[in-house]
Amino acid sequence: MRLLVPAALLLVLWQQQPAPIPPTPIPATHLETRWAAQVTPTRVWREYPRPQLARRDWVNLNGSWSYAIAPGDAPRPATFDHQILVPFPIESQLSGAGVWVAPDQRLWYRRTFTAPAHGNDRRVLLNFGAVDWEAAVYVNGALAGEHRGGYDPFTFDITPHLRASGDQELVVAVRDPTDDGEQPRGKQVRRPRGIYYTAVTGIWQTVWLETVPASHVTDLRIDPDLDRALVRVTVSGSGDSVPVTVSVLDGERPIRSGSGTTACP
């Protein structure tokens, strides 16, 4: 037997289908450990973030920042009316915000800081452990640099943009398309379910300042050679062929040392 369904009835049934559910990426649960309960704006990730290349002269910029969310093609907001705890992503409970940023929006951060003391022969570096995904960094209104990539650290030399005295302004503009884009994002989606995760947008690792000499180390590569009982150390620096000395310590006791130049093992 054949069943004929009038086209008008099909149209009515199609029109009665529920509308697509909009993204709801922020979980309704509010779980908190005893360690999370100890986090405050003055007590948030105070450890030096890069132990492989630690420096004594550094300033931690984690803590309370102001933020605003604006359309992606809009200029800098006139006001930053909300507070966020950096370095927690804006979707997280620990950030104090717990809101979602759409792919067509831009998240703007703002804070002020005091520039560390530095003379003519020293530079001030601004470091970000990670920002997801696209970041533009402004210091006192000038673009200090841009970066794409949600998982890797980056550094800008902000010395030319610092005022001679007084408060310095730092603004970071972030865009993250999440699963609307083709960038690496792991399991982040706008509507998490099953094995997928709530999206992470914005600053999610430590932000810090450090002062360095004009000629300074920018990266280390350490390659052990167990067969020959050797360790090869490649030192990258702000200048080419700068003399360097590498010392191996047992606690505080030097046991080996070697000399070379930057970018050469």
In order of their start, the domains of the chain are 36-213 (2.60.120.260), 217-261 (no CATH)
Q: Which residues contact 114 (CB under 8 A, 6 or more apart)?
A: 167, 168
Measured at the CA of 146, the angle between CA 142 and CA 151, to 5 degrees, comes to 140
What tokens does 174 get?
């972030």
User: Would you write out the chain's pLDDT as a tens digit for each of its 265 residues?
Assistant: 455 545 554 444 445 555 544 555 565 667 788 888 888 888 888 999 998 889 999 999 999 999 999 999 999 999 999 999 999 999 998 999 989 899 999 999 999 999 998 888 899 999 999 999 999 999 999 999 999 999 999 999 999 999 999 999 999 999 999 888 888 888 888 888 888 888 899 999 999 999 999 889 999 899 999 999 888 889 998 877 889 999 888 888 998 898 988 876 6
| Phi and psi at residue 153, to the nearest 5° | -75, 160
Measured at the CA of 210, the angle between CA 204 and CA 214, to 5 degrees, comes to 135
Count CB atoms within 10 A of the CB of residue 138.
19
Q: What span, in angstroms and rounded, lies between the C-alpha atoms of 77 and 102?
A: 17
| Residue 189, beta-bridge partner list | 198
